[in-house]
């Protein structure tokens, strides 16, 4: 990780990303987060570049969420490459309930196809492929507060 930051400081981004890839490969099985998060904006920049290259996408997403935390423990942003829209957050909040697709559509006063489109977009933005994974990741990223009104 330190090699990645040093290479980034020397404006050698490809070498920095190669070092970061190795660090992520070693750190992911152990679940290390703080060692990356404590490096702040320089690490966030490298992690965003890694995310664009789809390097360890779920782990990088988790690390970005941790790096984006502010000092008071609230998220500075969603920590996603592409943030969820307000309506997608509404759908995501309802995905965490026992409601099915038709009930969610009625609750939001939209068509079932609209709910399906929002759900598909949510899955893509979160990098998941099912409802449970989306709800679990939303909790990890603390997206529930963002969607509450």
Residue-wise pLDDT tens digits, 49-106: 999 999 999 999 988 888 776 333 334 445 566 788 889 999 999 999 999 999 999 9
Could you identify the residue written with the tokens 């529930």?
Answer: 144
Q: Give pTM, 2 decimals.
A: 0.48
Q: Tell me the residue length of the chain.
A: 149
Q: Give the start-to-end residue ranges of the domains of the chain.
A: 2-67, 86-147
Could you identify the residue written with the tokens 């935390």?
Answer: 69
The H or E element containing residue 35 is helix 34-37
Q: What is the tally of helices (H) and strands (E) in the chain?
A: 10, 0
CATH fold, domain 86-147, is Arc Repressor Mutant, subunit A (1.10.10)
Give the per-residue pLDDT at 78.
Answer: 52
């Amino acid at each position: 990780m330190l090699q990645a930051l040093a290479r980034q400081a020397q404006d050698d981004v490809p070498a920095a990303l190669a070092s970061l890839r190795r660090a992520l490969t070693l750190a992911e099985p152990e679940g290390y987060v703080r060692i990356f998060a404590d490096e702040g904006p320089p690490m966030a920049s490298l992690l965003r570049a890694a995310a664009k290259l789809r390097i360890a996408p779920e782990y990088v997403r988790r690390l970005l969420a941790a790096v984006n935390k502010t000092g008071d423990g609230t998220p500075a942003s969603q920590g996603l490459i592409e943030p969820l829209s307000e309506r997608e957050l509404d759908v995501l909040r309802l995905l965490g309930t026992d409601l099915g697709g038709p009930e969610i559509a009625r609750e939001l006063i939209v068509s079932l196809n609209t709910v399906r489109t929002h759900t598909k977009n949510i899955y893509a933005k979160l990098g998941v492929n099912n409802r449970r994974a989306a709800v679990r990741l939303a909790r990890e990223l603390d997206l529930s507060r963002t969607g509450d009104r």
